[in-house]
Amino acid sequence: MEKFWIGFTAYMVLSLFLVAFAFGGPIAAHLGYADVAKGLYTAGAPLCHQWVYRSYCIFSTGSAWLLEECIPHSHNGTVTVRTMFTPASHAWDGIFSYSTSQLGRNRGEMVERDGMVGYKLVVCSRDTAIYLGMVFAGIAFLYIRRHIRETPSLWLLLIGLMPMGIDGTGQLLGLWESTNTIRSLTGFVAGAFVGFYLISLLSDIIAKYDSRREIRK
């Protein structure tokens, strides 16, 4: 059991780190730590497309911070997007107008709309939700692990990934443009299933290892 807790702790530390990584960029930017923000956004570039309209932002109203979509699909007002930290070839700096012609041309981090200034999360809404789902899986596993006798079937993992796969494939093929709500829901489900499967697999491997060790004694 001691080995399980070491592995489980490592999993939770990694999952929480990923969540902190996603939220760290905008928080650092709001607090004025430009170098930290630049490092986080730059580190996130190889991991995610970082398109601002597929992401959530942390906005400052002057008296509070709000977590909202950077650019809601139904938004009709003027939105200004600026690239301040990411050394991206597809940087965007100017008025944003939601259209497929701007695909890939909006990796800016700073968003100004409705009298608010916001900074996008380091990764997109789907990736952020995956990280949160992994954290949820770790917490949930603690409550139900006594009822788990072995690693769940791989088919269960594939079922959990299916909604994200369908939504992502549809977007990639241009069949539809998803929403951040759907991206977040499918990402959270996928992250939860992946996390749960990984922890179950870890627990099963350690249990079998300890069992074989006892037999050899």
Residue 168 included in any domain: yes
Residue 199 included in any domain: yes
Same-domain status, 78 and 160: no
Residue 18 included in any domain: no
Residue 176 included in any domain: yes
Neighbours of 208 (CB within 10 A): 11
What's the domain count of the chain? 2
Residue 184 included in any domain: yes
Same-domain status, 35 and 119: yes
The residue from 99, 124, 149 where one domain ends is: 124
Secondary structure element (H or E) that encloses residue 81, with its range: strand 79-82
Please tell me the predicted confidence (pLDDT) of residue 216.
55
| Residue 153 DSSP one-character state | P
Same-domain status, 203 and 185: yes
Same-domain status, 115 and 30: yes
Residue 17 included in any domain: no
Residue of 215, 198, 213, 214 lying closest to 4 (CA atoms): 198
Q: Give residue for tokens 């788990």.
A: 148
Residue 19 included in any domain: no
Please tell me the predicted confidence (pLDDT) of residue 191.
97
**Which range marks the domain in which residue 108 is found?**
25-124
CB burial string 132-170: b at 16+ within 10 A, e below:
bbbbbbbeebeeeeeeeeebeeeeebeebbebbeebbee
Same-domain status, 161 and 173: yes
Residue 157 included in any domain: yes
Please tell me the predicted confidence (pLDDT) of residue 103.
47
Here the tokens at position 196 are 């749960």
Contact 105, 97 (CB under 8 A): no
Residue of 105, 84, 94 lying closest to 28 (CA atoms): 84
The residue from 62, 96, 124 where one domain ends is: 124
Coil, helix or strand at residue 18: helix
Q: Could you list the pLDDT tens digit for every one of the 217 residues in the chain?
A: 567 788 888 899 999 999 999 999 999 999 999 999 999 998 998 888 888 888 999 999 888 899 999 988 777 788 888 888 876 555 666 666 655 555 455 577 899 988 899 999 999 999 999 999 999 999 998 887 776 666 777 888 899 999 999 999 998 888 888 899 999 999 999 999 999 888 888 777 766 655 555 555 5
Please tell me the predicted confidence (pLDDT) of residue 73.
79
The residue from 70, 98, 124 where one domain ends is: 124
Quote the CA–CA distance of 206 and 4 in Å, as a whole number.
7
Long-range contacts of 159-163 (CB under 8 A, 24+ apart): 159/193, 160/189, 160/190, 160/192, 160/193, 160/194, 160/197, 161/190, 161/193, 161/194, 163/189, 163/190
Contact 195, 134 (CB under 8 A): yes
